[in-house]
């Protein structure tokens, strides 16, 4: 499933501007039923995150939505009056859904989902990358259906995370001599993580102890500056290293 999804977005990951990469990604995701896209690349605001600070951080790359949505009361409501997604950023979440923080079954979020219905969003799959010096790149990919096959949703989110890693590179590319260099063991271990292998399975394949396998994975993740394994894998995918 993941391999198929990555093949589908290969063109987007080859683009050389944030806008071109974002729009090519959305074109690919239309075939998966996507109805909405927002991508941003910005600096994390100082101090406690609020709706106003999050908005003022700017960095909008593209928002593909119904034309009237950005000027509507519903848009203002979900951006300023009731924005539970700030929690995802405070917690450095890389993969999440709108419904993780605004359960549709909870009455308190009735107006929230009514507002998003105006943009043809019944739920959204999200990916966020965190970089050096407070850099953040984010993707919101909306759908007009709420139920997702779990494996397909995860594959879409991992493809989205590869895109946000690409957006980070395009927004502020690091000089070649500052790019982290992984050992062959670290790169191989993370490649097995991308295939869904557990630490124990990686240890058997590599012929090392489970502790050593975990060490190679975590050391590679730290070198890449990733907050978790998923972001580390997405970084390598976006660089065509695995």
- So where are the chain's domains? 2-171, 176-238
Superfamily of domain 2-171: Transcription factor LuxR-like, autoinducer-binding domain (3.30.450.80)
Whose CA is closest to 22, among 174, 172, 160? 160
Instruction: Tell me the pLDDT band of 196, cut-offs 50, 70 and 90.
Output: confident
Q: Give mean pLDDT, residues 75-100.
A: 95
Q: What is the 3-state secondary structure (H, E, C) of 104-160?
A: CCCHHHHHHHHHHHCCCCCEEEEEEEECHHHEEEEEEEEECCCCCCHHHHHHHHHHH
In this prediction, residue 238 carries a pLDDT of 77
pLDDT at 242 > cutoff 80: no
Residue 178: partners with Cβ closer than 8 Å, 6 or more residues away: none
- The correct answer on CATH 1.10.10.10 for the domain covering 176-238 is yes
> Cα(86)–Cα(64) distance, rounded to whole angstroms?
21
How high does pLDDT run on average in the chain?
A: 90
The predicted-structure confidence for 108-155, as pLDDT tens digits, reads as follows: 999 999 999 999 999 999 999 998 878 999 999 999 998 888 999 999
* Helix or strand run (H / E) with residue 168: helix 150-171
Global model pTM greater than 0.85 = no
In this prediction, residue 171 carries a pLDDT of 81
């Amino acid at each position: 499933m993941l391999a198929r999804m990555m093949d589908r977005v290969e063109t987007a990951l080859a683009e050389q501007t944030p806008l071109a990469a974002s729009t090519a990604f959305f074109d690919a995701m239309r075939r998966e039923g996507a109805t909405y896209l927002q991508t941003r690349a910005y600096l994390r605001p100082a101090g406690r995150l609020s709706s106003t600070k999050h908005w003022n951080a700017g960095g909008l790359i593209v928002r593909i939505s119904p034309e009237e949505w950005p000027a509507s009361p519903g848009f203002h409501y979900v951006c300023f009056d009731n924005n539970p997604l700030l929690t995802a950023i405070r917690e450095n979440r890389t993969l999440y859904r709108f419904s993780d923080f605004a359960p549709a079954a909870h009455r308190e979020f009735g107006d929230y989902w009514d507002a998003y219905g105006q943009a043809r969003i019944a739920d959204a799959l999200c990916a966020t990358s965190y970089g050096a010096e407070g850099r953040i790149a984010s993707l919101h990919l909306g759908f007009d259906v709420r139920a997702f096959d779990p494996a397909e949703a995860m594959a879409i989110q991992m493809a989205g995370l590869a895109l946000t890693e690409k957006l980070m590179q395009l927004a502020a590319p690091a000089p070649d001599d500052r790019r982290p260099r992984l050992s062959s063991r670290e790169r191989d271990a993370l490649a097995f993580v991308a295939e869904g292998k557990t630490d124990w399975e990686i240890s058997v394949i590599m012929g090392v102890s489970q502790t050593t396998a975990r060490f190679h994975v975590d050391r590679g993740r730290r070198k890449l500056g990733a907050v978790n394994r998923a972001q580390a894998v997405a970084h390598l995918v976006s660089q065509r290293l695995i």
